């Protein structure tokens, strides 16, 4: 039995991670969260209500803000830990543009504090693994035909992606300097049940339900919509569990970079107009939409992001469920649980 610390446990991806691990392992989970704009304790309450008493007993919640170090008192509350999954982060691009220093503190300083905590554990008893969750946005916009690989150069275009890149480089430095057993993952456009209602998919579900117009961000001509590889949070959790189970042989590149990185990519690339149409079709409704020049309406955002999933595919992991099936699943759930798509 392993003990896993998940930072930002009340966050969107994190609570799916907790549920997945409780259902698929006998591991104990400690959720560390400060419960702010991104964290919602109701997410944990909702998934815990679906667990048995014995499963619930394996989840512990500890309150802490990672802008402060993990002091001896918090460390005692957390207890013995074998694996750390560091998901806590400021993740709303628009907020990062308005309040960049908040994201420096959350994503760079917060990461430094969890890495220091991980270093202390590793020096005391050995840490099996720490996974730092990064984002596709560190690579910046992807021209047509380009899918960024794990070790391609960065080109951050907003404070959110820059601070995630900063945290990622700190994680690499701790692996190189202190031999910390770090993995880094890049994910892109994760969706699923209980996502913040301002995100594109829950927003579309609500607007289409209410027969309102959906805004589709596009190029300057207002004819080419932005594209993404959308992936369900359960598939992300499945990929992380795969990485924790598998013994992966490290591959040094030409610069002897040894910190392993992995892109966790959705099953297909789709533009946002096609995605909105899928959501409308799932509800049996007509899609009302307006194409908007994304640069003028959302400075700091990019039209296309794209990652290569070849590395994970070669290792033996790909998403097992089609995007259209996942969209139908989330639409059906959201319409039955409408409070989660209301602001």
Distances (CA, A) of 270 to 114, 119, 197, 273: 35, 40, 21, 8
* Cβ–Cβ under 8 Å, residues 169 and 115: no
Question: CB within 8 A of 223, min separation 6: which ones?
Answer: 291
Residue 241 main-chain phi, psi, to 5 deg = -60, -40
Q: Give the active site residue among 160, 174, 289, 305.
A: 160
How many CA atoms are closer than 13 Å to the CA of 162, on its beta-carbon side?
Answer: 13
As to burial, measured by CB atoms within 10 angstroms (0-12 exposed, 13-18 middle, 19+ buried), residue 305 is buried
What is d(CA 44, CA 8) in angstroms, rounded to the nearest whole number?
Answer: 11
Question: Which tokens in the block code for residue 218?
Answer: 């596009």
Tokens 């995630």 appear where? 164
DSSP states of 158-217 as a string? SHHHHHHHHHHHHHHHHHHHH---EEEEEE--EE-TT--TTSHHHHHHHHHHTTPPEEEE
Whether 137 is a known active-site residue: answer yes
Q: Give the active site residue among 33, 106, 137, 168.
A: 137
Q: Give the active site residue among 33, 136, 150, 168.
A: 136
For residue 316, which of 267, 265, 251, 243 has the smallest C-alpha distance? 243
Whether 99 is a known active-site residue: answer no
Residue 32 main-chain phi, psi, to 5 deg = -110, 120
* Cβ–Cβ under 8 Å, residues 17 and 40: no
* Cβ–Cβ under 8 Å, residues 134 and 185: yes
Residues designated as active site: 136-137, 160
């Amino acid at each position: 039995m392993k003990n896993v610390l998940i930072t930002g446990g009340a966050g969107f991806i994190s609570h799916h991670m907790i549920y997945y691990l409780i259902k698929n392992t006998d591991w104990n989970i400690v959720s560390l969260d400060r419960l702010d704009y991104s964290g919602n304790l109701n997410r944990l309450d909702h998934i815990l209500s679906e667990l048995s008493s014995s499963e619930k007993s394996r989840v512990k919640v500890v309150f802490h803000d990672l802008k402060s170090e993990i002091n001896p008192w918090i460390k005692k509350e957390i207890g013995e830990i074998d694996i750390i999954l560091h998901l806590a982060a400021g993740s709303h691009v628009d907020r990062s543009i308005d309040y960049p220093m908040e994201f420096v503190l959350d994503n760079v300083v917060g990461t430094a504090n969890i890495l220091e905590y991980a270093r202390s554990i590793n020096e005391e008893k050995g840490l099996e693994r720490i996974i730092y969750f990064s984002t596709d946005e560190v690579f910046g916009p992807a021209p047509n035909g380009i899918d960024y690989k794990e070790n391609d150069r960065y080109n951050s275009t907003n404070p959110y992606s820059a601070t995630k890149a900063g945290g990622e480089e700190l994680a690499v430095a701790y692996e190189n300097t202190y031999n910390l057993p770090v993995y880094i993952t890049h994910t892109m456009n994760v969706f699923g049940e209980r996502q913040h209602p301002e995100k594109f998919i829950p927003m579309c579900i609500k607007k289409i339900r209410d027969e309102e117009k959906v805004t589709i961000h596009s190029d300057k001509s207002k004819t080419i919509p932005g594209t993404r590889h959308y992936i369900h949070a359960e598939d992300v959790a499945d990929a992380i569990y795969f990485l924790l189970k598998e013994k992966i042989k490290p591959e040094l590149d030409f610069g002897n970079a040894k910190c392993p990185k992995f892109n966790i990519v959705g099953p297909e690339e789709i533009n946002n107009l096609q995605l909105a149409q899928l959501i409308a079709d799932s509800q049996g409704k007509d899609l009302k939409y307006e194409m908007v020049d994304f640069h003028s309406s959302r400075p700091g955002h990019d039209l296309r992001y794209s990652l290569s999933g070849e590395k994970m595919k070669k290792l033996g992991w790909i998403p097992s469920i089609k995007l259209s099936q996942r969209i139908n699943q989330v639409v059906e759930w959201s319409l039955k649980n409408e409070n989660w798509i209301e602001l």
